């Protein structure tokens, strides 16, 4: 399981980069890895921002901020902002940037989580990271390209996707395995749609 946590994000990044036409320029890649390394070291020394408490809302909030969602959402925001600067005109895919950012984070988390040897952190969390990175990227791309069409459901999807990902973590931690699987499947749907779209003859996004 530790090997899965260590290798899933870099291998998935290579798979995604081979499909995506929006490959990031090398300086963009460097900043993703550099800032991701700083984030990984900072989280190691500073510890979690939220005390997870028991099985209730604090556990879900801890999953959202410290473990599952914010580690993906934050690099997407940073990558999008960098793409607006003169240093990276046009930038690159925010999914590429986020996945690259997560590589050193995954290495550090493998070290800290490896002693627990539980599938929650070592298997489920990397899957949710990749689902969020690609899913949020797809929804953002749809949001900017639709020009007024279906904006409301896309925004709802952007808001709910991190919620369901954190809920999958919370349900698994609370030993509600079927509920966790349900939320995991919902979280994987946007990523599955995006990847499937690469193999369709007529892409609609």
Q: What DSSP assignment string belongs to 13-52?
A: HHHHHHH-S-PPPHHHHHHHHHHHHHHHHHHHHH--SS--
106 in Cβ contact with 88 (< 8 Å): no
Mean pLDDT of 25-38: 80
Q: State pLDDT tens for residues 140-170.
A: 888 877 655 678 888 899 999 999 999 999 9
131 in Cβ contact with 195 (< 8 Å): no
> CA geometry: angle at 17 spanning 168 and 89, to 5°?
105
Q: What distance in Å separates the CA atoms of residue 173 and residue 58, rounded to the nearest whole number?
A: 12
Centre a 10 Å sphere on the Cβ of residue 49 and count the other Cβ atoms it contains.
11
Q: What distance in Å separates the CA atoms of residue 79 and residue 84, rounded to the nearest whole number?
A: 9
Among 37-46, 51-60, 72-81, the minimum mean pLDDT is found in 51-60
Q: Model pTM?
A: 0.90
Task: Work out the burial of residue 80: count CB atoms within 10 Å of its CB; fewer than 13 is exposed, 13-18 middle, 19 or more buried.
Answer: middle
Centre a 10 Å sphere on the Cβ of residue 81 and count the other Cβ atoms it contains.
12
């Amino acid at each position: 399981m530790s090997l899965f946590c260590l290798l899933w994000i870099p291998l998935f990044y290579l798979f995604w980069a081979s499909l995506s036409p929006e490959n990031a320029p090398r300086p963009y890649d460097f900043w993703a890895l550099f800032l991701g390394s700083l984030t990984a070291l900072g989280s190691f020394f500073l510890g979690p921002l939220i005390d997870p408490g028991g099985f209730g809302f604090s556990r879900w909030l801890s999953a959202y901020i410290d473990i599952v969602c914010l580690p993906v959402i934050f690099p997407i925001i940073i990558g999008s902002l960098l793409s607006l600067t003169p240093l990276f005109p046009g930038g690159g895919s925010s999914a590429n940037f986020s996945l690259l950012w997560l590589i050193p984070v995954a290495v550090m988390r493998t070290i800290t989580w490896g002693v627990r040897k539980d599938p929650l952190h070592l298997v489920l969390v990397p899957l949710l990271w990749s689902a969020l990175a690609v899913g949020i990227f797809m929804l953002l791309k749809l949001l900017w390209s639709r020009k007024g069409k279906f904006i409301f459901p896309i925004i709802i999807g952007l808001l709910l996707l991190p919620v369901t990902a954190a809920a999958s973590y919370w349900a698994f931690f609370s030993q509600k395995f079927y509920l966790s699987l349900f939320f995991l499947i919902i979280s994987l749907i946007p990523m599955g749609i995006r990847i499937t779209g690469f193999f369709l003859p007529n892409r609609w996004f």
